[in-house]
């Protein structure tokens, strides 16, 4: 069985390699336990958090060698006697990590079924970004239809999902990107307005929206970009920081807090999912899986690599200006 392991924390393409590992499948890995599910990994994306895992900058830093991989989609090949929510042949996502491998053996509760006809590439990206976009819009401020949300990294997978979900909820999005050439593409997804990031962001935000009060700002750039979003939201508004593509900590002028009552909060999917019980989590994935299977939610894919080319794949994933995610298909073409 092939697996992608890091041997040290460092430059991702230097420290990762495709290695031979013991097969965790039913035949060689021992008898399957009553509460276990074994599946072949069909595809996984390379997310910013996976890059952070390889560099050692992520919150999880397990002993080495270690296997990255926050998400994947797999096809079930065997289930234990007590498993009745999935069976061989079903597509599943895995709620646990270490998914950059050809095969996984997991606890039953961690294998969440997806609709049968779902596109495999989209299915590989169900676990993290769609619920992140959904909960960013629901867990901080209750917005009324017609209200605006401002977000940066609007061209990211999360940003695009925010645009699509906000539109379906009757909300309007003001989308901050790094280049004007994206405006048309994001408008086609449902973006109400797009602006390029920069020092005069508040003035451009006012021009784009007619000066409405914006009560929610979503930030995944961090550094000075968080401060620029804070300057765009209304007094008593909320800025939620959920990523740091700049690699910096948020820098926000204290006058936003003291004089204007702006709230700065943080989001982590695992923390917000942990507030929900297993039934609520399954309901979220069932709804999102249905939307993705029906084509109502989607994220672009730039390029697909085999697991043997994991070094090239992680190098590509770190390049700006991509036209979507980098995916890896460990068991051949999909
Ligand atoms: N907290 C959580 O639970 C959670 C969950 C999911 C994702 N996230 C975070 O959400 C963010 C987006 O993730 P994703 O998977 O959607 O990303 P993605 O699809 O891989 O896209 C990355 C985006 O980051 C932008 N970018 C890269 N470097 C940048 C910089 N220095 N300044 C400004 N923008 C920059 C890129 O802009 P261009 O298009 O211009 O190249 C691109 O739009 C990441 O920070 C990720 O860690 C957090």
Is 290 part of a structural domain of the chain?
no
| Pairwise CA distance, residues 291 & 131, whole Å | 12
Judge if 137 and 244 occupy the same domain.
yes
Judge if 99 and 148 occupy the same domain.
no
For position 333, what pLDDT does the model report?
A: 85
Is 282 part of a structural domain of the chain?
no
Domain closes at, from 270, 292, 312: 270
**Cβ atoms 94, 124 nearer than 8 A:** no
The secondary element (H helix, E strand) that includes residue 129 is: helix 129-138
Is 159 part of a structural domain of the chain?
yes
* Alpha-helix residue ranges (DSSP H) falling in 248-309: 255-258, 269-273, 278-293
**Cβ atoms 151, 173 nearer than 8 A:** yes
Judge if 88 and 150 occupy the same domain.
no
Is 279 part of a structural domain of the chain?
no
Judge if 116 and 133 occupy the same domain.
no
- Listed as ranges, residues in the chain with pLDDT below 70 are 26-29
| The residue count for the chain | 334
For position 28, what pLDDT does the model report?
A: 66
Judge if 10 and 60 occupy the same domain.
yes
For position 263, what pLDDT does the model report?
A: 98
User: Could you identify the atom of ligand 1 that is nearest to the CA of residue 160?
Assistant: 16
Is 278 part of a structural domain of the chain?
no
Judge if 79 and 102 occupy the same domain.
yes
User: Could you identify the atom of ligand 1 that is nearest to the CA of residue 49?
Assistant: 47
- Mutation probe of ligand 1 site: the residue of 128, 136, 153, 324 with most atoms within 8 A of C-beta: 153
Is 281 part of a structural domain of the chain?
no
**Cβ atoms 297, 164 nearer than 8 A:** yes
Is 243 part of a structural domain of the chain?
yes
Judge if 31 and 146 occupy the same domain.
no
Q: How far does residue 74's CA lie from ligand 1's centre (Å)?
A: 25
Residue with tokens 């041997």: 7
Judge if 11 and 108 occupy the same domain.
yes
For position 320, what pLDDT does the model report?
A: 85
Judge if 133 and 225 occupy the same domain.
yes
Ligand 1 pocket at CB < 6 A = 47-49, 128-129, 132, 153, 155-158, 178, 220-221, 242-243, 245-246, 267-269, 320-321, 325
Q: What is the CATH number of the domain that holds 40?
A: 3.90.180.10
- Helix (H, G, I), strand (E, B), or coil: what is residue 152? coil
User: Could you identify the atom of ligand 1 that is nearest to the CA of residue 158?
Assistant: 16
Q: How far does residue 153's CA lie from ligand 1's centre (Å)?
A: 6
Pairing of β 172-177 and β 148-151: parallel
Q: What is the CATH number of the domain that holds 234?
A: 3.40.50.720
Residue with tokens 């697991």: 307
Judge if 26 and 108 occupy the same domain.
yes
**Cβ atoms 307, 4 nearer than 8 A:** yes
For position 334, what pLDDT does the model report?
A: 84
Total number of domains in the chain: 2
Domain of 61, in residue numbers: 2-125+300-329
Choosing from 9, 58, 259, 305, the catalytic residue is: 58
Is 280 part of a structural domain of the chain?
no
Judge if 145 and 24 occupy the same domain.
no
For position 227, what pLDDT does the model report?
A: 98
Q: How far does residue 310's CA lie from ligand 1's centre (Å)?
A: 20
| 242 catalytic residue (yes or no) | no
Q: How far does residue 56's CA lie from ligand 1's centre (Å)?
A: 18
Read off the tokens for 95.
């709620």
Judge if 266 and 207 occupy the same domain.
yes
For position 278, what pLDDT does the model report?
A: 85
């Amino acid at each position: 069985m092939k697996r992608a392991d890091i041997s040290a924390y460092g430059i991702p393409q230097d420290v990762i390699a495709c290695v031979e590992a013991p097969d965790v499948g039913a035949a060689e890995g021992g008898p399957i336990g009553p509460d276990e599910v074994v599946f072949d990994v069909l595809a996984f994306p390379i997310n910013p958090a996976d890059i952070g895992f390889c560099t050692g900058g992520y919150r999880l830093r397990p002993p080495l060698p270690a296997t990255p991989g926050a998400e994947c989609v797999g096809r079930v090949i065997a289930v234990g006697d007590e498993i009745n929510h999935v069976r061989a042949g079903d597509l599943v996502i895995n709620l646990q990590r270490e998914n950059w491998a050809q095969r996984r053996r997991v606890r039953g509760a961690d294998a969440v079924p997806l609709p049968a006809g779902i596109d495999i590439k989209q299915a590989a990206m169900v676990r993290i970004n769609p619920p992140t976009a959904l909960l960013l819009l629901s867990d901080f401020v209750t917005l009324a239809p017609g209200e605006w949300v401002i977000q940066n990294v609007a061209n990211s997978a999360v940003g695009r999902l925010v645009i699509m979900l906000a539109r379906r909820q009757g909300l309007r999005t003001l989308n901050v990107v790094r280049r004007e050439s994206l405006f048309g593409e994001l408008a086609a997804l449902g973006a109400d307005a797009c602006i390029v990031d920069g020092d005069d962001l508040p003035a451009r935000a006012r021009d784009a929206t007619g000066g409405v009060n914006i009560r929610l700002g979503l930030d995944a750039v961090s550094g000075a970009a968080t401060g620029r979003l804070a300057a765009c939201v209304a007094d008593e508004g909320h800025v939620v920081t959920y990523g740091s593509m700049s690699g910096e900590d948020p820098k926000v002028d204290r006058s936003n807090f003291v004089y204007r009552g702006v709230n700065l909060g943080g989001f982590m999917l695992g923390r917000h999912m942990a507030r929900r019980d297993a039934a609520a989590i399954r309901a979220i994935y069932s709804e999102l899986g249905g939307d993705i299977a029906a084509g109502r939610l989607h994220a672009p894919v730039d390029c697909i690599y085999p697991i043997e080319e994991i070094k090239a794949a992680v190098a590509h994933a770190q390049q700006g200006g991509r036209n979507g995610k980098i995916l890896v298909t460990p068991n051949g073409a999909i």
